[in-house]
Chains A and B, each alone.
Chain A
Amino acid sequence: MTLADGLALALWVVVAVLITYTIRHYVFTLNRVFGRFRQPYVDIGIADWPTVAVFVPAHNEEKVIGGMLEALLAADYPAERFHIVPIDDRSTDGTGGIVERYAREHPGRVRPYVRTEGKPGKAAALRDATSRSEAEIFLVFDADYLPGPNLLRQLVAPFFDPEVGAVMGRVIPHNLNRSLLTRLLDLERAGGYQVDQQARMNLRLIPQYGGTVGGVRRSALLDVGDWDEDSLTEDTDMTFRMVLRGWEVVYQNRSECYEEVPENWPTRIRQIQRWARGHNQCLRRYAWTLLKSPRHLRFAQVIDGLLLLGVFAVAPVLLVGWALATALYFMGYPIEQGLLILFAVASYSTLGNFAAFFEVGTAARLDGSRNRIRLLPFLSFGFLVNLLAVSRATLSRRSWRAPGAHGPDWQKTERYRGGNGENGR
């Protein structure tokens, strides 16, 4: 075998990986459009609702925490069955003052938890705060999210099924008219939730629990060993620990919560790089366990889990594909054999991977979006930025080494709403 043959073989492996993800896009999209829907207990009204503690981890969130608490206080859930726990983790801005004010105005309903020591970071904050709560269900929201009044009931409802360990709602950007980037992120989110997550739910695969709009059952949390303080993305980590221990993770497409997406590219890059590092940490931790296929998992779940874990590792694989194609081109790889493989990488497998556009276009259409779908070609630019940012994060040492004794620090996305604690008024 010549060097060129070896490179060509490696390129075919890259193309095979990309085709696998393409098939996944098609299967998910066609299932979302034509498959049977699963949305357990979503419309339940009268019930013996469990006790709920709503945790809002916050580190310097004065711009948004007020709005979040206002939205939660307006929630349609039996008042005597739920309380809110804003977790103020070493904030140096006005977050503490705002939270204290709400606690005074709503005694018993807003019960702040102030952290001044211990490991920093969201997972560590949640571990400390949830260990002090006796509620049956823990809901977790990011401080910049805006839950609608029915959201709490919708998120809690699936827990009537005793096999359910975690529930995830849908995230929708509310600042989408700020820039081209926010509109592109709205399209991406639509594809990810409306199609990907719901199809996983329909197919009984592995919907991902997201720590921004979701909840966990207290007994399940204790069963899997609590939040991992060293996890960079505690939600993905929790998803796989739940699934591996036999708990079901549920996605509720109708449980909408509204978020601020990054309005500028540097913020977006930092966000996606953080996700990539956390996801890769989970890949390192759980891929082998999944491969060993615990008996309670179906083969399809194992495959879906592996593809989900590897989703951020695909970016550098694609870059390698480009490099291999370029090398083969300059080496004069025989055109009869080379043309197909080169074109496969140069068009189909890169920006031209139509399956991703199909998924996003379908999601936006099902959402009732009309003119926004016309931005579809611009997603190519977003993909290019994602590709390079994720590759850089994936190839960095932080993606693969264990966090030090200090643990992961707070990783926050820039907020844009007006501050001074009046944002909820």
Chain B
Amino acid sequence: MVQLEWTGRRAIRAVFLSLLGFLTVVSGLPVLGRTWGRLETWVLGQSGVSVGIDWHSIGIGSVLQIRVPYPLLEGPWPSTSHWLIVGGGTAALLLASFLLPMRFLPARYFLRFVAAVQSVALVYFAFATPPFPYPLPGYIGGLMTVGMAILALVPIALGFGFYIFDHSLPRQILLTVMIVGHLAILLPLQGLVHAILINRFSLLVQPTLFFVFGVLVEVLVFVGFYGWAMSWGGSEIPQDVGTGARL
């Protein structure tokens, strides 16, 4: 029967790597925040959006002060034209979900899910009056802050799910670096895309971006890398995968 032995060495290694990774990421967050600021400024400049950035400060006790950047874009209250454009897009999405062949059923369901969330937003903004409880700068600042928390939690999650297996130390470190590195680049770009979309299409699209294209994207990136790494070889993997190997 294929299984692993739970030894003190394995436990210590998993805990040590998790803590080391956690502390490394957390101590790097101030630098990461500044780097995100420079990246956002550069991307905004390249894309012709002439706005600056501001900073949202968070502190972890008195030990660490982190500044999280966000673009100085406004999320306008939806106008009639915004409502019609987004409403038309939602209808098109819904129609597309019915036109897709049955073999794409998960995609059909996903499109309908997106359309459902967006429809709720359309109904809400048809009747609501300003102000919206979550203005754009605060929303982006929140997204970035949660993103930083996810970055710090990556090594902890891997401690449970990956460091316990018989991978070599370089591979364990490699996976951690790949996930953290990927998310560190993805997060500010994702925040910028959200900000620009909300700026162009109004607060009408913010709920959909929050619920469907928010933290779920990071989680799926994590699972994608994790699935790849779990396919790497290791001493506990049976070499013969024929009958009887699934022991």
Knowing that A26-B160, A358-B161, A362-B230 touch, tell me 7 more A-B residue pairs with CB under 8 angstroms. Answer: A253-B247, A265-B106, A343-B215, A347-B216, A352-B223, A361-B161, A377-B220
Shortest distance in angstroms between B166's beta carbon and chain A's nearest beta carbon? 10
Chain A residues with Cβ under 8 A from B160's Cβ?
26, 358
User: Contact at B239–A330, with CB atoms within 8 Å?
Assistant: no
Chain B residues with Cβ under 8 A from A30's Cβ?
164
Cα–Cα distance between A179 and B102 once the two chains are bound (Å): 13
When each residue 34-65 of chain B gets 1 if its CB lies under 8 Å from chain A and 0 otherwise, what string results?
00000000000000000000000000000000
B16, CB-defined interface residue at 8 Å: no
User: Contact at A374–B231, with CB atoms within 8 Å?
Assistant: yes
Within 8 A of A (CB), among B171-227: 207, 210-211, 214-216, 218-220, 222-224, 226-227
Chain A residues with Cβ under 8 A from B1's Cβ?
37, 39, 253-254
User: Contact at B3–A34, with CB atoms within 8 Å?
Assistant: yes
Give the segment of A70-78, A89-97, A379-387, A401-409 that binds chain B: A379-387
Contact of B227 among A170, A256, A374 (CB under 8 A): A374
A19, CB-defined interface residue at 8 Å: no
User: Which B positions have Cβ atoms within 8 angstroms of A?
Assistant: 1-6, 102-103, 105-107, 109-110, 113, 117, 120-121, 124, 128, 132-134, 138, 142, 146, 157, 160-161, 164-165, 207, 210-211, 214-216, 218-220, 222-224, 226-228, 230-231, 233-234, 236-241, 243-247
Chain A residues with Cβ under 8 A from B241's Cβ?
367-369
- Tell me the dominant secondary structure on chain A's binding face: helix
Contact of A382 among B106, B121, B227 (CB under 8 A): B106
User: Contact at A32–B3, with CB atoms within 8 Å?
Assistant: yes
Count contacts between A and B, CB distance < 8 Å: 164
Shortest distance in angstroms between B234's beta carbon and chain A's nearest beta carbon? 8
Interface centre among A34, A179, A364 (most CB of B within 10 A): A34
Shortest distance in angstroms between B21's beta carbon and chain A's nearest beta carbon? 16
Shortest distance in angstroms between B71's beta carbon and chain A's nearest beta carbon? 19
User: Which A positions have Cβ atoms within 8 angstroms of B?
Assistant: 26, 30, 32-35, 37, 39, 148, 170, 172, 179, 190, 194, 253-254, 256, 264-266, 269, 325-326, 329-330, 332-333, 335, 339, 342-343, 346-348, 350-352, 354, 357-358, 361-362, 364-377, 380-382, 384-385, 388
Chain B residues with Cβ under 8 A from A26's Cβ?
160
Contact of A365 among B214, B215, B222, B237 (CB under 8 A): B237
Query: Can you list 8 A-B contacts with CB-CB less than 8 angstroms, sorted by A residue number?
Result: A33-B4, A170-B246, A266-B102, A335-B138, A343-B146, A352-B215, A357-B223, A367-B246
Cα–Cα distance between A33 and B241 once the two chains are bound (Å): 18
Interface centre among B133, B218, B230 (most CB of A within 10 A): B230
Shortest distance in angstroms between B59's beta carbon and chain A's nearest beta carbon? 15
Cα–Cα distance between A33 and B5 once the two chains are bound (Å): 8
Decide yes or no: A326 and B211 within 8 Å by CB, A34-B5, A253-B1 being known contacts: yes
